[in-house]
Structure 1
């Protein structure tokens, strides 16, 4: 690892720090890492058509470091420029890592039964899939992005509140903080998508969210 890269070994010694950066505690991370390493090899050889043992040496040498990166990326949602700063690499490396490691993470989480079963299309289906949920909490998040070159996309992605271009998402979670539903900005532009799917389900809105 480069001397200026984020200190992964230090993060791995603290449950609080590791959870803040990846969403997992040390024991959870180590358990996930075992299956992730197996899926990483299969995924890499499938999508890259080469062995993970071949080619130039990765800056992220171990499977745990690769898992840390993709969990950090998904949890903290940095731009590739910001991620590149933390990991002491060019933004293009972070872009490649995200595309290489994400399929393995999805495969791992799918086998652990923590990925969504399917898309939810209406309130009845939501209640059928999550019968134990008595109420939900809704909040919005905006992730900074580079200014699009296309004029139409510039207008669509500009946030007057943030005074910059962003990607918008709505997150729906239950009282146990489990994410039940996710809407991206492309769906939100259609209008009424959230109301159509969650009509009749008791919910609370975050302070930053405006329907």
Structure 2
């Protein structure tokens, strides 16, 4: 298979160049190295035609997931419109990753997500919908406090009185080393420019897109 269980949980993915993830100074422990590998795996699907069967299976599953979400959207919206009978002043917020809950039943004022259609601000009584997320920043506003996270991908389920963010992985921006990210971006750009075949170019481009998105998010934190 394309995956093997290791300490990080993701090091067995065969198609990702280990030079990109074997030593990552921009993250502070093995968990975040695993997170970065998830970003590399899920960050780009359009370039995977030349990749191995393992990566193609990941791509197929993601495409199937989008189809399932699309089929359920109308029923979801109808159910939520029928259930919503109040106009709360706070948004009940859940923020989930596979291993844990970042927020659980938290009362917040607003959440901003990196939707595929652009940044989306969510407040109480928002129109019920399902939004696909791309790599980018999730901002959580509570009074004067703002918490910012970088997510790899996922879906957001928006209800009139609450929002559920379900991300493949997430990292708090305060845990990322800005200068190290810039260095990794430069290395990936150089590798992409000097790539001698399509596979190397595709893998380098994943790194460029990942670190570009991280750099943009860090500049705004």
Could you tell me the TM-score, scaled by structure 2's length?
0.24
Specify the structure having the higher radius of gyration (Cα): 1
Pick the structure with more helix per residue.
1
Could you tell me the TM-score, scaled by structure 1's length?
0.24
